[in-house]
Chains A and B, each alone.
Chain A
Amino acid sequence: MATEVANAPSHHEEPDPNENYLKAGRGIWSWMTTLDHKRIGVMYLVAVILAFFMGGMFALLIRLELLTPGRTIMGAATYNRVFTLHGAIMVFLFIIPSIPAALGNFVLPIMLGAKDVAFPRLNLMSFYVYVVGAVFCLFSIVSGAIDTGWTFYTPYSTTSSSSVVSMTLGVFILGFSSILTGLNFIVTIHKLRAPGMHWRRLPLFIWGMYATSIMQVLATPVLAITLALLAMEKLLGLGIFDASLGGDPVLFQHFFWFYSHPAVYIMIVPGMAVVSELFATFSRRAVFGYFAIAMSSLGLALLGFLVWGHHMFTSGQSEFATMVFSGLTMLVAIPSGVKTFNWTATLYKGSIWLTTPMLYALAFLVQFAIGGLTGLFLGVLSIDIHLHDTYFVVAHFHYVMMGGTVMGFVGGLLYWWPKITGKLYNETAAKVSFGFVFAGFNAVFIAQFIMGSRGMPRRYYDYVPEFRPYHAFSTYGSWILAVGFFILAGVLIQSLRKGAKAPPNPWGSAGFEWNTASPPIFSNFAETPVITRGPYDYHEATEEELFDGFPEDFKKTES
């Protein structure tokens, strides 16, 4: 592909570097072959929102089936497929690329003062690789679906007749997309910072992306080889994971979680990265403990590689290993706590502006605290024996993944929406949608905490009648949540169609990405910016930089 693009006669159509990026180059073809990180980010955004919608539909189906004991709308075999697809789509097609590949691609080079990511062609390639991977995943849905759960545990995955091979192949390909994005970001952050943008001035979003990229680059290849072995095991009967052939099924779990534990930090760290920006902008003060937050992202990246065994306390790994992993798991609380306390301290005596993105950031803070602390319960060996594979675990990771990352994603989407589209959205309607999302989400998963602690196992199709009130409550919550997201979709569509034109810096932020037009010009900045202060130095920013209207109005207010 690379050579093709190089040879394409693009000389005549070379976009004007000072034109709005949405208008520089017209037609579908100019989008399909674009090397502009902003357009690639927008294409990713559309793709992950579609994936979120699909995964969300499966979630609603799961909840609807569990409304009553026994059969409600589908049979047990279908149910197994639906929860597998919910998990696999949400993890691999939505959450992992959501913030880095969609929002990160758009914002990261602008924040750095760069014209593009280091390898624009690789960036476009990673998008197409993602699309190919998604096609394989969709193929496995129509070709009989897969019912192993998103973890593909052996020996079930190697013996079940469902389309495991096409799904693992799809995830394998998606992994490459993730690696290429991570690689691109690391090089971009190292090499393409504007003059004056030294490491202590990097926005915290960039620090979070940096930590995420390191994990993507180092963990994903291990998933690749694991899935390759799994596919070969199924095709050739290698026996590496098959106990009857002398293999070891627990080895699969070790391999899988060596990737998938860093993967959950690949999901949550970008959420933290977004809310760090939101807290600073909407408290209108410097982030408290900037360097501590930056380092805690790297700390999470490091610890992410050392705690995979805590998913396997009941798998039969050695007692010594469980003790070590349990101890290391406790350490995760340190960087997480550093972040949580520093965000809270940022709010203290800040001038808080309760916009919708800020509401999402505050929801992140509360829900991540719940998700994080219940994670500690699960890290304690004796308690985990009781809670393992119950709804408590389900509620815990949804509080982190959805209560954390999705809140960060939506908050970030609304925060940068005026920058991406050049349009403002209706704040009141967005706040209403936030209310539904917040209430619905907590209703769904608080019920699951309670029933989990009382012994309701996860992934079960049927349950004893005493759990019925909790399941029903959780299902009603899922409907409130869905209403919230549909309102949000309406808000965004309305903004695209009829939204007012956005000024360059509608939030009056000191962040560098707001120094360019909304939407940005093709080359991001008319000339390379020179950075003379940190991204949260409100006391050093000029009034012009913080002005939340149009530049021509600023001149009027001055005169």
Chain B
Amino acid sequence: MSSATTTDASHAAPAGEHGHGHQYPFLAHHFDTPVHQFDSAKLGMWIFIATEILMFGGLFVAYGIFRGQEPEMFRMAHERLDRIMGAVNTVVLLFSSLTAALAVRQSQVGDRKGTTRWLVITLICAVIFLVVKFFEYQHKFHDGLLPGHYFQAHLQQFAHHGHVLPQRAHMFFALYFMMTGLHGVHVLIGMGVLSWVLKQNLDGKISKQFFTPVEIGALYWHLVDLVWIYLFPLLYLVG
């Protein structure tokens, strides 16, 4: 995706011969116009988002199958998740999607400071999300609610509401950790992308004519948000 931001390729084009290369330093030599380049980058990101959805799709299918087999176990196991923390994180991510969209808007109107402000707020939201997630994970680790071999039934004496989880509840936590873990990795990747966009903006490479990185980065961030919107009800609001 970053290829759309080529800054060094147009030097070779002698003035006038290869079109507009000399007018726009950001325009790569194989594109005709900035709009052409922008559209290509955006299409590329949409296709990449499709691949991400299919990747998570595998986990959603596994979830559907095992929940269909043992709905009661899922209901019991999900009560060990902290709904409040999950809800807080949902709000934080939704808000961060808004701020990402505002960053795009500010970059389109050429407001560099505004873009920086909204990008920083988005990144702060991402950090808050991960911190909350960290405390959630820590709690699960403490209770022995871990996937697979590490699922420890003996710690269930501390079971809340007096329920003891069936041994097969390890499946729920296997899915919980895989789904939220993969999502967490995507939050980290998204933060990397947005930090890079922020650096581009601070370096003065983003302008009214060229806001592709902001738009593409925000698009990716919306995907991260969207996946969580499905994960939250599936994992935290089972029954």
Contact = CB atoms under 8 A, between A and B. Distances in A.
A248 interface: yes
A118 B59 contact: no
Contacts of A35: 3, 9
Nearest to A242: B148
Interface string B17-60: 01000000000111100001001110110011011101111110
Contacts of A245: 148, 168, 170-171
Given A221-B54, A251-B62, A183 B47 contact: yes
B138 interface: no
A233 B148 CA distance: 8
B171 A247 contact: yes
Contact of A218 (B43, B54, B59): B54
B174 A118 contact: no
A187 B149 contact: no
B13 A17 contact: yes
Interface residues of A, number: 54
Contacts of B61: 255
A200 interface: no
A247 B171 CA distance: 8
Interface stretch (A2-10, A85-93, A291-299, A421-429): A2-10
Contacts of A190: 40, 43
B2 A238 contact: no
Contacts of B36: 191
A120 B3 contact: yes
Contacts of A121: 2-3, 6
Contact of B178 (A109, A122, A232): A232
A119 B62 contact: no
Interface string A98-121: 000000000001000011111111
Given A229-B178, A238-B178, A179 B40 contact: no
A164 B178 CA distance: 19
B113 interface: no
Contact of B2 (A2, A218, A247): A2
B147 interface: yes
B3 A119 contact: yes
Contacts of A119: 1, 3-4, 40-41, 44
Contacts of A192: 30-31, 40
Contacts of A497: none
Nearest to A186: B47
Contacts of A187: 40, 43-44, 47
A14 B7 CA distance: 12
A236 B149 contact: yes
B84 interface: no
B15 to A, nearest CB: 14
B148 A238 contact: yes
A229 B54 contact: no
Interface in A227-252: 228-229, 232-233, 236-240, 245-248, 251
Contacts of A217: 47, 50-51
Contact of A16 (B9, B12, B170): B12
B150 interface: yes
B65 A114 contact: no
B82 interface: no
A183 B62 contact: no
Nearest to A6: B7
B58 A255 contact: yes
B5 interface: yes
Contact of B150 (A122, A224, A236): A236
A186 B48 CA distance: 11
B72 interface: no
B40 A183 contact: no
B11 interface: yes
Nearest to A109: B30
A236 B13 contact: no
Contact of B65 (A3, A10, A251): A251
18 contacts: A2-B2, A17-B13, A17-B29, A116-B28, A118-B3, A119-B40, A119-B41, A187-B40, A187-B43, A191-B40, A218-B50, A219-B54, A225-B58, A226-B58, A229-B58, A232-B178, A236-B147, A255-B58
Interface of B: 1-9, 11-13, 18, 28-31, 36, 39-41, 43-44, 47-48, 50-52, 54-59, 61-62, 65-66, 70, 147-150, 168, 170-171, 174-175, 178, 182, 196
Q: Which 10 A-B pairs have the closest CB atoms?
A: A237-B148, A225-B58, A221-B55, A2-B2, A115-B30, A121-B3, A237-B149, A119-B3, A221-B54, A238-B174
